[in-house]
Amino acid sequence: MWNRAELKNRAKASLSRCYWKSVFVALVLFISVAGIGAILRWIEHITDAGIGIGSGVTLQYITEGENGSLDRIFRSISIGTYGPVFAAIAIMAGIVTVYGDAIRIAISVFLFGPLEVGSQRWFIVNRAVGDASLAEIVHPFNHSYLNVVKAIFLRWLYLVLWFMLFVIPGIVKTYSYRLVPYILAESPEMETSEAFRLSRAMMDGNKLGTFILDLSFLGWDILSALTFGVVGIFYVTPYRAQTNMELYVTLRDAYLGQHQTNS
């Protein structure tokens, strides 16, 4: 059974060996994960009233307006000489909003997803060789790119759907699928279903321990907030990333050892 102190000690050792690269890659990882969050915000706009467009604007709002009448909106903007101009501006603004959302989602799916996987790959390779090339970050763009894109998108989509049902199952599934980016980092060609299966298998019996591991960084997060993110950028973020990588390697080795013994 793994323990938090051992993981963190190994993470600190890795961080000290390659500090500035770790800071840079951890920052890329942070930005990538934050970028993928755009998918969550976009899907959250899908309500029973219609498909979300922009921040809190739905098709029902566009067609019915605040007072529940499309006809009333068109009557109000058609009053006076400049009514058609205002109508054209409103339509163009709606189109720009739709395309703006589409562009953000595309960037999240096709750029930030592979960057998340590539960043995790750098941490894994760096652990093995001691000073990995930063080119590892873009490895997914040259190896089974679309497969990586699909898997990461489906991971986030599944999590959104689970959270839409119930919060607690959503949290549980977050930990079940936690290792998918790491698995793809080592095997980008792996089938999505197999990557999900392996993540669930390796996290089986380890979700609570991983949750406690996450909580153990709470003090560091508070300190980061008090320093306006400075401590977070230059220590907490790379330290956490290294620790999470050590957790993955530990669970991976334990899983492989168990199944090799059974076979």
Q: Is 161 in a helix, a strand, or coil? A: helix
Per domain, the residue ranges of the chain are: 4-262
Q: Give the position of tokens 């109000």.
A: 76
What are the φ/ψ torsions at residue 140 (nearest 5 degrees)? -65, -25
Q: Are 131 and 17 within 8 A, CB to CB?
A: yes
Strands, E, within 127-262: which ranges? Answer: none
SS (H, E, C) 94-153: HHHHHHHHHHHHHHHHHHHHHHHHHHHHHHHHHHHHCCCCHHHHHHHHHCCHHHHHHHHH
The residue type at 123: F
- pTM metric for this prediction: 0.79
pLDDT at res. 205: 96
Looking at every residue in the chain, the average pLDDT score rounds to 83
Q: Which of 79-93, 175-189, 208-222 is predicted least confidently?
A: 79-93
Q: Is 56 helix (H, G, I), strand (E, B) or coil?
A: coil
What per-residue string of b and e applies to 90-101 under the rule 16 or more CB within 10 Å gives b?
A: eeeeeeeeeeeb
Tens of pLDDT, residue by residue over 74-131, are: 555 455 555 565 556 666 666 656 666 677 778 888 999 999 999 999 999 999 998 9
What phi, psi does 58 have (nearest 5°)?
Answer: -120, 165
